[in-house]
């Protein structure tokens, strides 16, 4: 049902209408991680130019010039998809409820009360949906309408050529440390201590909590986890590998089973998010429509995902 839903409210009785509480909704936290590649100015699609070079060392001391090595350009396409939120609000719906105390005087309503409250929650919900979609988005889903609008990073990675960590039936507090150790061991040596490609193991909060519990149960008192339980970041003991929890990788009911309990290890710059304007989804427009005398709200934006080098990703998923 569009607009206001007030069926759960009784007819007007004087109440404290000045206090309306909203639930805390997590924003698109992954897009705020330093290094995540956000590509703007895309109306439909953009090419991400990739470059690879080899420079083999040759024997010197001879009067000859021998060309060797290679400099190869390639590209992948980052496609964005037009998305929107729109709703219609009839202020007269509130007249016989206690919320009527916030309506303007008279019977002609060209504004709505709580506009900022509505906008803030709409944006928070869009951010939360984007957080899920950039990781688990899949256009083949038949449910989860907000997650099937475009393909996320997991689908791009699985369709590419990632390095696969050893799969187990499920991640538990008994095997989670061994799984992360295996992920760390699978990172190519060329990437392990790369100066500009700082590898990070991304996982859901559900997996991250299992890791924290396992480290605690291992009695590793020489290792201080600090406030990792609230920050969602920890250094895997003995490795120096940063493990980061993101809500987009939480096991999501209704999503593909292969997208649950995932660990994706790569450098943030390898993950691309495309849009037209950065934070365009935060620009909400509300207006009074004279034709039907409703208040209408609209937000439009574009979103899409791509992974530059799937070969530089260590991917774990359950068997």
pLDDT, averaged across the chain: 88
Does the pLDDT at position 92 exceed 80?
A: yes
Residue 317 has pLDDT above 70, yes or no: yes
Number of structural domains (the chain) is 1
For position 6, what pLDDT does the model report? 78
The mean per-residue pLDDT over the stretch 61-86 comes to 90
Reply yes or no on whether the pLDDT at 22 is more than 80: no
Residue 8 placed within a domain: no
pLDDT (mean) for 70-85: 91
pLDDT value, residue 23 = 62
Of 104 and 259, the one with more pLDDT: 259
Q: Is residue 121 in a domain?
A: yes
pLDDT-based confidence at 252, cuts 50/70/90? Answer: very high
With respect to residue 208, please indicate whether it lies within any of the assigned structural domains: yes
The answer to whether position 1 is within a domain reads: no
pLDDT band, residue 117 (cuts 50/70/90)? confident
Domain assignment present for 71: no
pLDDT at 13: 61
Residues of the chain with pLDDT > 70, as a percent, come to: 92
pLDDT of residue 262: 98
Residue 54 lies in a domain: no
**Distance separating alpha carbons of residues 190 and 115, to the nearest angstrom:** 52
Token pair for 319: 């068997």
Question: To the nearest whole percent, how much of the chain has pLDDT over 90?
Answer: 54
Instruction: Please determine, for residue 104, whether its predicted confidence score (pLDDT) is greater than 60.
Output: yes
The reply to whether 104 falls in a domain is yes
Is 219 a member of any domain? yes
At residue 77, the pLDDT reads 94
Q: What is the pLDDT of residue 51?
A: 84
The stretch 105-128 carries a mean pLDDT of 85
pLDDT for res 14: 56
Q: Is a pLDDT exceeding 60 seen at residue 128?
A: yes
Q: Could you tell me which residue, 190 or 226, shows the higher pLDDT?
A: 190
Domain that holds residue 88: 29-39+78-316
């Amino acid at each position: 049902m569009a607009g206001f839903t007030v069926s759960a409210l009784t007819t007007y009785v004087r109440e404290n209408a000045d206090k309306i509480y909203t639930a805390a909704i997590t924003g698109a936290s992954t897009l705020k991680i330093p290094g995540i590649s956000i590509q703007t100015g895309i109306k439909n699609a953009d090419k991400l130019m990739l470059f690879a070079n080899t420079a083999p060392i040759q024997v010197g001391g001879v009067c000859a010039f021998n060309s060797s090595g290679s400099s190869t350009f390639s590209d992948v396409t980052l496609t964005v998809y037009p998305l929107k939120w729109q709703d219609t609000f009839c202020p007269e719906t509130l007249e016989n409820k206690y919320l009527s105390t916030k309506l303007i005087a008279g019977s002609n309503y060209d504004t709505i009360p709580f506009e900022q409250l509505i906008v803030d929650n709409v944006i928070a919900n869009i951010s939360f949906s984007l957080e899920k979609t950039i990781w688990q988005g899949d256009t083949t889903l038949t449910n989860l309408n907000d997650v099937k609008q475009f393909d996320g990073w997991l689908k791009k990675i699985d369709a590419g050529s990632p390095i696969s960590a050893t799969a187990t039936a499920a991640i538990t507090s008994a095997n989670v440390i061994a799984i992360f150790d295996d992920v760390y061991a699978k990172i190519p040596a060329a990437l392990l201590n790369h100066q500009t490609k700082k590898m990070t193991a991304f996982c859901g909060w559900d997996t991250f909590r299992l890791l924290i519990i396992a480290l605690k149960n291992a009695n590793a008192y020489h290792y201080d986890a600090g406030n990792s339980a609230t920050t969602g970041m920890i250094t895997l003991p003995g490795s120096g590998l940063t493990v980061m929890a993101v809500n987009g990788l939480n096991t999501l009911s209704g999503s593909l089973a292969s997208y649950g309990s995932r660990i994706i290890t790569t450098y943030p710059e390898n993950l691309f998010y495309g849009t037209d304007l950065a934070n365009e989804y935060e620009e909400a427009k509300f207006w009074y429509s004279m034709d039907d005398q409703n208040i209408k709200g609209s937000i439009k934006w574009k979103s899409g995902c791509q992974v530059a080098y799937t070969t530089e990703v260590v991917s774990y998923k359950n068997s």
